[in-house]
Structure 1
Amino acid sequence: MIRLSTTQMYNNSMNSMLQSNSRVNNVNNQMGTGKRVLTPADDPVAAAQTLNSKTRMAIVEQYNRNTDFGDKNLSLTESVLDQTETALISLKERAIQLGSDQWSDEQIKASGVEVKEMLNHLQGLLNTRNESGEYIFAGSQAEQKAYDGNFFKGDTVEREAQVADDTFIKMLTSGARVFENLEIGADKLKPTYDPNKVIPDPDVASNFTPDATVDTNFTDAPANTVVDPAKFIETPAGSGIYAVDPAYVGADPGTVVLDPAKFKETEAGSGIFVVDETYAGANPGVMKPDPSNLGFTNDPAQYGEDGAYPNNMLGVLQHLVDATGNGNPAGPVNKEAIRNAIQNIDVAFEQVSQSRSQIGARQNTLSAVKESNTDFKDFAKQSISDLEDLDYSEAYIRLQTSMLSYQAGMQVSGKVSSLSLFDYI
């Protein structure tokens, strides 16, 4: 036989009533929030699955932010390349006009000013910055200009963004890919320098002898038969070919000639000289570009007024500007170089076009990835909804049941609390 004290009956009644009240409050909270799972205790399995889905959704949302940022950069880059292609087409049309024999040198030089302005425009275009202030063609050196004049100052690194678990997209394109290292070989498109330059030909001995019309070059002037040894040396001995003595520090003796011990003609009959590789003395003072390095080069040491152009799109256009006589300093018009520039521009245009196609492919990939990420988010939201969202019909029934239980408990508690063993004594 179980014996219950008055206190025990009272406590049991109160606990039952509090539990009923808790169930009513819990259903009310569920209906207020629209969520079935408010704490892990409500449904541990559903709570764990929901947490995993929400964590995954946060990662996918970051992927989408990367996708949006990459798409903005690629769209900006594509726009710049579109403008570049338009400018190149216009420049090619102008080069075709200027290369025509119908144009005089004066007309070419006047019209070439527009070509120079377009080059300046493209120099600025290649230093375009994105919304973050980064130079889009500078590679990883995005804080500094991609181009200083015609020269590339960035690097080949193209920064990537992760847009899916195993997908990385290059969101910035280096100018090294788009504008540098043009496929311009020795058999095509090398610029033609001024053909009127007069340079001594080493095949003709008289080109190396002191100028007979300058009396001060001889010790028996005006007979001009004995070379002044203070000014000239014979190189090599017995050859009858003279060059200015390196030790001579006086006034210009009249004819500056090349010392065959120091210089060589790089192509027979070309009249273009370079320092002989075997020469180990001081700078000989006179040097002309090597034809093998004329044209377009990737070696900055070759750049210079009489040297090569940088092997990039801007170098190609600078070549065209110089050929119109609008270089710095201004030079003669060179129609052959203008005609060569037409092909140069084609090469530059093709490389820009290929890079633009690659950007288009990246944009297509981003679009596909973003669509996939969006589909996953929709699936995850539905999954979370299935796990934690409240069925209001079922909740309403539970609410009514809980309230009835609570009300009954209160009535029972009132009856129990009024009972006492003293009533039966």
Structure 2
Amino acid sequence: MTVRLSTSMIYQSGLNGILNSQSSLLGLQQQLSSGRRIVTPSDDPLAAGQAITASQNLSMVGNYASNRAVANTSLGNEDNTLDSIINNITAAMEKVVQAGNGTLSDTDRQTLATVLTNSRDALFALANSTDGSGQYMFSGYQSGSAAYVKDPTTGAITYAGDTGQRTIQVDQARQMSSSDIGSDIFNRANPGTTSYIGSAGATNTGTATFLAPNVQTGGAAAGSTFKIDFAIDATTGDTTYTVTTTDKTGTSTTSAPAAYTDGDTIDMGGVTMTLSGAPADGDSFTVEPAQGADMDVFATMDQLISALGSPSQADASASAALRNTLTTAARKLSINLDNVSTVQASVGARMNELDALTSTGNQRSLTANKVLSDLTGLDYYSAYSSLTLQNVALQASMAAFQSIQSVSLFSMNK
């Protein structure tokens, strides 16, 4: 059977061959110029789908890396600020020790009060530190407002932020606090402390002073608050005291009166405190756990400044009140210092965790890049060889088309 081919069919077949070769050549050129094996999804539908997943994973890893960088910068700024806060509180504690020198005059103590005023103001400025972008570090969610404000009338400094903890997603299953709230730094005791704080009654008129309370290991009354009340017998002049214990449930019990002598160490059932001097009738002392006490560092500094600025020279009662204030302040500042150090340790731990997560994230990034490269990466040697071969095929197709184009019945009958 003879197959008849029309001239148009011959021309169309030759043209299709040339166009197919040009299309293949163009595809290879696009691969070489882009450096990718898959230029369009149709090149390899399965690999194209897998590449989308790998690309999304790589993008997510990159986002977490950016978040970690932000968190690390924020925590680094906080760490530097906490360093300054620790130095400030340490310097204030040194001034408290210096103020306890009995040879100082009222003028000397007023000078110390001025120094502590400057220290308090510096601490106030540190409490309102910003992160470099105008956001207040210690305000919680209220990052656009100052963490602490000062009453223009009384000068009292109070926390104005909230309890919101700003967090950043630093890994797929890890959210991290990028800052701490001010009340956890300046207004509380270390959550793990078992220390007790002693204080003298505001209306005391005697000369009794106390040493900081001690907690006995395993004391049965741990967590309770104690109040020591003194009474003087109008007839005999004997001094006695009672101890009222208030437990965690609010239940109070009062001991029987006991005789007091100068230098007594009073045992309150696991907590002891030594007193010396002569209490007046109606004087009292309170011993309370640091966890339930007012640990506002600014209030403590204000009390110190007020006590040091008040005359006490040649006044036994005023001198005793000053010593008691110094003892209370020294213990509170020591607990404040421990708390700030604990917060700083937490900041350091978070920064170490960020370093570990960054190391893991870098490995994930390398893995995701390799997967993406394996799926879409181009073998340049193979692609160039194919390009050369396809170019030869195109030239051959064009030469064949020209040869067929010159053939006709008229030329054959010459």
The verdict on a shared fold, with TM-score over 0.5 as the criterion, is yes
**Cα separation, 2, equivalents of 1:295 and 1:132:** 39
Quick one: distance in 2 between partners of 1:48 and 1:172? 40
- 1:312 corresponds to: 296
Partner residue, 2:162: 155
- Give CA deviations for 1:139-159 in whole Å, capped at 9, x if unaligned: 112222111132111122211
Is the contact made by 2:188 and 2:336 (CA closer than 8 Å) also made in structure 1? Answer: no
Task: Tell me which of 302, 325, 339 is aligned to 1:351.
Answer: 339
C-alpha deviation, 1:3, in angstroms:
2.4
Q: Supply the distance in 1 between the matched residues of 2:88 and 2:370 (Cα, whole angstroms).
A: 51
Structure 1: 4+ residue segments shifted above 3 A: 183-187, 191-197, 201-205, 291-298, 421-425
Q: Which of 317, 328, 331 matches 1:340?
A: 328
**Does the CA-based 8 Å contact 1:35-1:389 persist in structure 2?**
yes
The corresponding residue for 1:32 is 33
Alignment of 1:379 with 2:367, yes or no, is: yes
1:188 is matched with 197
Task: Report the CA distance shift for 1:417/1:186 in structure 2 as closer, same or farther (over 3 A).
Answer: closer
Counterpart residue number, 1:132: 133
**Aligned-CA RMSD value:** 3.2
Corresponding residue for 1:388? 376
| Aligned 1:204-353 pairs, distance under 5 A | 269-270=281-282, 311-325=295-309, 334-353=322-341
Q: Is the 8 A contact 1:154 1:175 kept in 2?
A: yes
Residues 152, 335 of structure 1: alpha-carbon distance in 2 compared, 3 angstrom cutoff: same
1:151 aligned counterpart, secondary structure: strand
TM-score normalised by length of structure 2:
0.72
CA shift digits 1:378-399 (9 cap, x unpaired): 2212222222222121112101
The 10-residue stretch of structure 1 (377-386 or 186-195) with the greater mean CA deviation from structure 2:
186-195
TM-score by length of 1: 0.70
Give the counterpart letter for 2:300 in structure 1: V
Q: Decide which of 390, 403, 406 is 1:415's aligned counterpart.
A: 403
Counterpart secondary structure, 2:197? coil
1:98 has 2:82 as partner:
no
Take 1:294 and 1:323, find their aligned partners in 2: how far apart are those partners?
Answer: 21
Counterpart among 352, 363, 377 of residue 364 in structure 1: 352
Cα pair distance change 1:189/1:348, threshold 3 Å:
farther
Number of residue pairs the alignment of both structures matches: 329
Q: Name the CA shift for 1:109/1:96 in 2 (closer, same or farther; >3 Å).
A: same
Superposition pairs for residues 6-21 of structure 1, below 5 Å?
A: 6-21=7-22
Q: Structure 1 residues 326, 48: closer, same or farther in 2, change over 3 A?
A: farther
- CA distance in 2 between counterparts of 1:111 and 1:177 reads 28
Q: Contact 2:147/2:182 (CA < 8 Å) preserved in 1?
A: yes
How many Å apart are 1:118 and its aligned residue?
0.2
Please report how far the alpha carbon of residue 46 of structure 1 lies from its aligned counterpart in structure 2 after TM superposition: 2.0
Once the two structures are TM-superposed, the CA of residue 203 in structure 1 deviates from its matched residue by: 10
Cα deviation 1:204-261 (Å, max 9, x = unaligned) = 99xxxxxxxxxxxxxxxxxxxxxxxxxxxxxxxxxxxxxxxxxxxxxxxxxxxxxxxx
Report the counterpart of residue 54 of structure 1 in structure 2: 55
* Greater percentage in strand: 2
Distance in 2, matches of 1:192 and 1:86, equals: 31
One-letter amino acid of the counterpart of residue 53, structure 2? N
**Match in the other structure for 2:210:** none
2:203–2:283 Cα contact (<8 Å) kept: no
Q: CA deviation at 1:101?
A: 1.6
Corresponding residue for residue 168 of structure 1: 175
Residue 421 (structure 1) shift: 4.5
The CA deviation at 1:104 is 2.3
| Native 8 Å contact 2:167 2:178 kept in 1 | yes
The 1:35–1:47 alpha-carbon spacing in structure 2 relative to 1, beyond 3 Å, is same
C-alpha separation in 1, matches of 2:204 and 2:288: 14
Contact 1:161 1:170 (C-alpha < 8 Å) held by counterparts: yes
Partner of residue 393, structure 2: 405
Partner SS for 1:190: strand
Residue number in structure 1 paired with 2:73? 72
Q: CA deviation at 1:419?
A: 2.3
User: CA–CA distance in 1 between the matches of 2:47 and 2:86?
Assistant: 57
Whether contact under 8 Å (2:196, 2:290) holds in the other structure is no
Deviations 1:244-289 (CA, angstroms, capped at 9, x unpaired): xxxxxxxxxxxxxxxxxxxxxxxx94279xxxxxxxxxxxxxxxxx
The answer to whether 1:43 aligns with 2:44 is yes
Q: Which runs of 5+ in 2 are unaligned?
A: 151-156, 207-229, 235-279, 312-317
Per-residue Cα deviation, 1:118-142 (whole angstroms, up to 9, x for no partner): 0110011101111332211111122
> Does the aligned pair in 1 maintain the 2:197–2:287 contact within 8 Å?
no
Contact kept? 2:137, 2:179, Cα under 8 Å:
yes
Amino acid at match of 2:189: L
Give the gaps of 5 or more residues in structure 1: 206-267, 273-290, 299-308
